Each structure stands twice: as C-alpha cells, then as structure tokens.
C-alpha cells in the first residue's frame, strides 16, 4: 500500500526532516495550505495572525485505487496519534509484525504488537488471534454464568489501556440447559488498543525509559458440547521500545 | 452424562478504568478516560472553539480531490500518481518542523 504524508512545511523543511529521520516515502509540501483548505481540514481554531496558522486537523485517509475514501481517522486530541499499523489492524487488514505463538488448554494463541517502537501519545494495538480447538467454544462478553474471554492488561505507570475490539459472537444453543450463550467457536481476533501516556505523569514515568514490557493475561473458559473446563489464564507480554518526542527543528536557512 | 461447570461469581466486564490527567502544553488540563473510550478536554482559561474532527474533510465514500504537490526531493506528485493497486494511505500532519 502506498503512503504519503502532507503538511504545510516547505520542501526544504521536508527534505531536512526526511534526511534526519531516514524517511523515503513521499512527504508532500502544501506550503500556503491550499490543499489543506480545499480538503476542508484547515484548523480554523487558530488565529490567522498566529505564525503557526495554516496547519490541518491531523488525520489519515485510506483510499482505494480510484482515490475513494474507504476509511478515515482523525484524532480529537492532537498529542495522540494512531500508528498506521494500528489503524490497518483495526480495519481487519493484515500487517507484518513479529508474532509469538502460545499453546494453552483448548486454545492456540498468536500474539503481537502492531508497533515495536512508540512515543508519548502513540496509539498502538496488541493483537491476539485465538484459535479454539476443534469442537471447542469459548465465551464472549455478555455470557452470564461462564467466564467470558478477556485480555486483562496489568496496570503500569506510563501505560494507558484503551478500548478492545472483539468480533460479533455466535449464538450457541445448549439444549440440555435450554440456554443461548454468546460464544466464539472459530478463530477470532482481539485488538486491544494501548497508549503511551502523554500526560505530565506519563511523561515523568517514561522519562529515560527506552522500552517497556506490557504484561497481561488472556482469560477464558472453554467448553465442548459435553464438558466445560475450568477457567484458564494464559500470561502474555509484549516489549515496546520507547523513543522520545522529536523536538528537533529544521536547520535555519 | 452432561456436566456443565459454570464459573462461579463470574465476569465483571468492567475493565479497569485508567485515568491520565496532566497539563497539555500549558493551556489546559488533558484527561483521558480510556476504559470507556471517552476523551474529554477541558480548558481552564479562555473559551475555545471546539470542532468535532469527525465532521471535517472528505467522508467515507467521497473521492479525495486531486492535488499536485512537491515532495521532499522537489518532484511534483499528484494523488493519481500515488495510487497503487491497493490504493494509498494519505496522512495529513501538523508539521515536520515543530
């Protein structure tokens, strides 16, 4: 998939930035903000007399080969930004990332983080692909009397646990008890969003930190059509490199 | 011969709410209530215009307007020239300089 990033910086500023950061994909200069204005995404809350006037509401468009928008993400808080890999995973697309496989009782897990490096305010995702064993189902959120699946992350300073995305469950009818229960009985994916906390407390917690290890437990209860097994927990971890915010500026010309 | 072991006292679905609050560039207080997916921003001083960023710009299903912009090497690039067989990701960002 092609990638391009547009800002109102000059070509010289973009050239300097691309060199410093080793960027090879196109950085496009919309000096004067004409494209930003035509797109209707100029940040109109900025006073035109402000020297920074002309920048957009930051956002990402994903378009098809005809240039039609298939999805878009605009962050309400500018200090926070979803990574492209996280956006793509949440849209159900495949990405390349080093994954770990774990075999548990009645399930197989494959897990990875969308990004190996993040900075303050980065929204990234932890992905957990769960494959129930043949003829086994696990319980979805909303199932009462059974332990539903849950990715429980351990709290730690500098880490914000955001929302989790789970697929729509199937309805399972268990005739002996005449009960309907929401379950997963085919491979399914949990996408758990997390963020490196950009607040003052988060910045303090992550100061001089070069990597964090996010730990948690996949909780579930598996049953087949005759027996329910006791609830289980599988420990998981992900290592994320932490890089400081880029505070460099282009060289004065 | 069917045995079902229900999980006793199961399933508090309410995950731990993680709250982060702090100064955002000295202009206000930034609080993120993540477990319920709500992000609220409070300004402590002068009122500011708030804009729902989900309402700005091209929507899903719209065609992005064509553009012709120079890249970091000075070469002109159009939207059309950027579109590959799987389309493209077009990112608008604030600045590469501040």
| Residue A124 is assigned to a structural domain of this protein | yes
| Residue A76 is assigned to a structural domain of this protein | no
- Which residue of A39, A74, A78 is in closest CB contact with B54? A74
| Residue A87 is assigned to a structural domain of this protein | no
Cβ separation B56–A57 shorter than 8 A: yes
3-state secondary structure of A252: coil
* Partners of residue A9 in chain B, C-beta under 8 Å: 95-97
Chain A residue closest to B19 (CA)? A160
Summary mean pLDDT of chain A: 94
- For B:25-54, CB contacts with A below 8 A are 25, 30, 32, 34-35, 37, 39, 41, 48-49, 51-54
- Which residue of A28, A39, A228 is in closest CB contact with B77? A28
CA distances from A230 to A129, A222, B3, B7, B8 (A): 21, 8, 12, 7, 10
Per-residue pLDDT, A17 = 95
On the question of pLDDT at B18 being above 80, the answer is no
Residue A144 and residue A226 in one domain: yes
| Out of A106-115, A141-150, B40-49, least confident range | B40-49
- For A:129-158, CB contacts with B below 8 A are 141-148, 150, 152, 155
Chain A residue closest to B85 (CA)? A65
Question: Rounded to whole angstroms, how far apart are CA atoms A249 and B19?
Answer: 32
Residue A150 and residue A28 in one domain: no
Mean pLDDT of A19-32: 95
CATH number of the domain to which A115 belongs:
2.60.40.1250
Confidence of residue B75 (pLDDT cuts 50, 70, 90): very high
Residue A173 and residue A53 in one domain: no
Joined together, the tokens standing for residue B7 give: 């999980």
Per-residue pLDDT, A78 = 79
| Residue A225 is assigned to a structural domain of this protein | yes
Closest among B74, B73, B67 to B90, alpha carbons compared: B67
Residue A110 and residue A14 in one domain: no
Residue A110 and residue A220 in one domain: yes
Closest among B28, B65, B19, B52 to A75, alpha carbons compared: B52
On the question of pLDDT at A73 being above 70, the answer is yes
Residue A53 and residue A173 in one domain: no
Cβ separation A195–B34 shorter than 8 A: yes
Mean pLDDT of A169-191: 94
Residue A21 and residue A146 in one domain: no
Mean pLDDT of A110-116: 97
Mean pLDDT of A11-40: 96
| Residue A174 is assigned to a structural domain of this protein | yes
Give pLDDT tens digits for A196-237.
999 999 999 999 999 999 999 999 999 998 899 999 999 999
On the question of pLDDT at A65 being above 60, the answer is yes
Residue A125 and residue A232 in one domain: yes
| Residue A112 is assigned to a structural domain of this protein | yes
Residue A210 and residue A111 in one domain: yes
- For A:95-134, CB contacts with B below 8 A are none
Query: CA gyration radius for chain B?
Result: 23
Q: How many CB pairs under 8 A join A and B?
A: 282
Per-residue pLDDT, A253 = 59
ipTM: 0.77
Number of structural domains (chain A) is 2
Q: What is the DSSP letter of A244?
A: -
Q: Please tell me the pTM assigned to this model.
A: 0.75
Residue A39 and residue A124 in one domain: no
Per-residue pLDDT, B48 = 53
Residue A17 and residue A127 in one domain: no
Residue A105 and residue A209 in one domain: yes
| Residue A88 is assigned to a structural domain of this protein | no
* Partners of residue B77 in chain A, C-beta under 8 Å: 4, 26, 28
Cβ separation A72–B34 shorter than 8 A: no
Note down the domain range covering A180: 100-242
Per-residue pLDDT, A247 = 79
| Residue A12 is assigned to a structural domain of this protein | yes
Give pLDDT tens digits for B44-57.
344 455 788 889 99
3-state secondary structure of B48: coil
Cβ separation A161–B41 shorter than 8 A: no
Question: A219 and chain B: CB distance < 8 Å anywhere?
Answer: no
């Amino acid at each position: 998939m092609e990638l391009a990033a547009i800002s109102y910086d000059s070509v010289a500023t973009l050239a300097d930035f691309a060199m410093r950061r080793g960027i090879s994909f196109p950085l496009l200069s919309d000096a004067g903000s004409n494209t930003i204005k035509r797109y209707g995404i100029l940040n109109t809350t900025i006073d035109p007399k402000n020297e920074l006037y002309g920048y957009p509401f930051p956002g990402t468009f994903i378009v098809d080969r005809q240039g039609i928008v298939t999805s878009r993400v605009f962050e309400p808080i500018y200090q926070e930004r979803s990574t492209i890999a996280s956006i793509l995973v949440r849209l159900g697309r495949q990405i390349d990332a080093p994954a770990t496989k774990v075999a548990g009782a009645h399930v197989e897990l494959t897990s990875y983080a969308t990004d190996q490096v993040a900075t303050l305010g980065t929204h990234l995702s932890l992905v957990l692909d769960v494959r129930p064993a043949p003829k086994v189902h696990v319980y979805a959120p909303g199932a009462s009397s059974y332990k539903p699946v849950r990715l429980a992350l351990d709290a730690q300073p500098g880490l914000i646990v955001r929302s989790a995305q789970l697929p729509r469950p199937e309805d399972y009818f268990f005739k002996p008890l005449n009960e309907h229960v929401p379950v997963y009985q085919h491979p399914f994916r949990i996408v758990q969003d997390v963020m490196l906390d950009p607040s003052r407390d988060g910045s303090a917690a992550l100061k001089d930190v070069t990597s964090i290890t996010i730990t948690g437990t996949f909780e579930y209860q598996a049953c087949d059509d005759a027996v329910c097994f006791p609830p289980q927990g599988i420990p998981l971890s992900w290592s994320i490199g932490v890089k400081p915010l880029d505070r460099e500026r282009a060289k004065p010309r | 011969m069917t045995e079902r072991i229900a999980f006793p006292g199961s399933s508090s679905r309410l995950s731990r709410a993680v709250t982060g609050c702090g100064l955002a560039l000295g202009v206000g207080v930034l609080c993120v209530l993540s477990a319920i997916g709500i992000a609220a921003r409070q300004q402590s001083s002068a009122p500011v215009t708030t804009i729902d960023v989900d309402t700005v710009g091209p929507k899903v299903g719209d065609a992005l307007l064509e553009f012709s912009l120079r890249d970091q090497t000075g070469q002109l690039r159009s939207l059309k020239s950027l579109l590959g067989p799987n389309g493209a990701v077009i990112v608008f960002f604030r600045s590469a300089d501040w």
